[in-house]
Structure 1
């Protein structure tokens, strides 16, 4: 080959290298990226099925904290971890996990009902009632939520009625004439005691085995009131103690 021609071939070859490299680089860059590996929930599921609390907290906790975990797996992991928190008495943590699960899927009637039961256990009745109501809106046939809602609604009604008469005795203070009655009206604690005594007496009479027993109970109550009115103000007489003793006698040793 003539020197001139051979040089042209070498030049052409060297000139083509950058193009070749660029094409190869483009081909590599244009390849479809590898898919993210699916996060395996098997360890969390196994720990939950085995009811191994420590492993549930570890394995399901890792699943919950992994941003690549599928939503359904994260929800199941949250519910599994909440169940362990409940067993261990960590109510607030269980409520928090249920709350996160409901943020991910607000259609979980069972979780609304379960969280409502935890709120009720804590004494947060308004939040409990709201959760039971949410469960019923999602599933009107939810037996547990319906039972919980009715029971709590009755409890709130009873508490409301008690609050309405709190600090008021069983009699009309405007008509009080005796010193003992005026003392009871002036002290909310004594007023509540008087109302409890009256209610327990009424229950005892209502549940008496017969008319004779009911009359005997009424005579006993009348004697207590007469003695209370006569002894009040005398040295050594403790009105509060006398009323507490009377209530215990009416309610019996079991407090009922």
Structure 2
């Protein structure tokens, strides 16, 4: 049996073995780098962990009306880019409702609007945002949202009631605008100085029309004919006093008409 002979530096067999060892080492290093890269986050160097977005904490805090807990809990969900769309919508709606209960109207509208951008099929959220627009005094936007809710769900009871009420309100406003600045009588036939003064002043004209309408209502609601005649007699006396007092020093016709209207409407304004 032959003794092993040390291979010379230039031996092709030794070179081949060293090359194979280098290949194995390089492959091992590449695998190591690959696994390391998969385990690191996009920020570089930080281990990537699977982010668990806890929407339950947000929903629970909002349901409990706990602003202190809901604020950070919901923000953690809403501001996280990894939050799934359904959870994001839930968090926005929950926080929006909470903000609305605490009269943070603009922030609540912003959350509801973002939720509706993500999911425009939420009838409840359209109705809720409509009620918020109403609180801000934006009746056209409120009606639009109530209508949108009804398109999604024609049987949505709250949206139906809100839309019906707003339709009546807009109708009333339209009727008021149509007669704004017009008294109860035709100014074209005005002959008395007091009547001409009322026609020339929109505020006095509105008061005259309101007094006339209020008087007609109380007479219509009178218990019997005798009471109705008595009420009309009181109105006729007021007109006589108004006409006689107009133009005299110290007579305030606007104040007199306001007092008459208050008397007709009663202490509760009706």
Determine whether 1:23 maps to 2:27. yes
- Could you say which structure has the higher helix fraction? 1
Q: Please, which of 212, 216, 219 is the counterpart of residue 226 of structure 2?
A: 212
Q: Please, which of 14, 21, 39 is the counterpart of residue 18 of structure 2?
A: 14
Equivalent position SS for 2:121: coil
Alignment match, 1:2: 5
Where does 1:1-256 land on structure 2 (aligned, <5 Å)?
1-4=4-7, 7-28=11-32, 33=38, 36-256=50-270
What is the aligned-residue RMSD (CA, Å)? 2.0
Higher alpha-carbon Rg: 2
Deviation at 1:250, TM superposition (A): 0.8
**2-side partners of 1:142 and 1:33: how far apart?**
50
TM-score, normalization by structure 1 = 0.93
Equivalent position SS for 1:3: coil
Once the two structures are superposed, residues 8-48 of structure 1 have per-residue CA deviations (whole angstroms, 9 ceiling, x without a partner) of 44322221133223333454566695784332323223323
- 2:7 and 2:14 in contact (8 A); partners too: no
**1-side partners of 2:132 and 2:79: how far apart?**
24
Once the two structures are superposed, residues 68-96 of structure 1 have per-residue CA deviations (whole angstroms, 9 ceiling, x without a partner) of 11111111111121122112211000000
User: What are structure 1's unaligned runs of at least 5 residues?
Assistant: none
Deviation at 1:244, TM superposition (A): 1.1
TM-score, normalization by structure 2 = 0.88
Deviation at 1:187, TM superposition (A): 0.4
Deviation at 1:102, TM superposition (A): 0.6
More divergent stretch after superposition (12-21 vs 132-141): 12-21
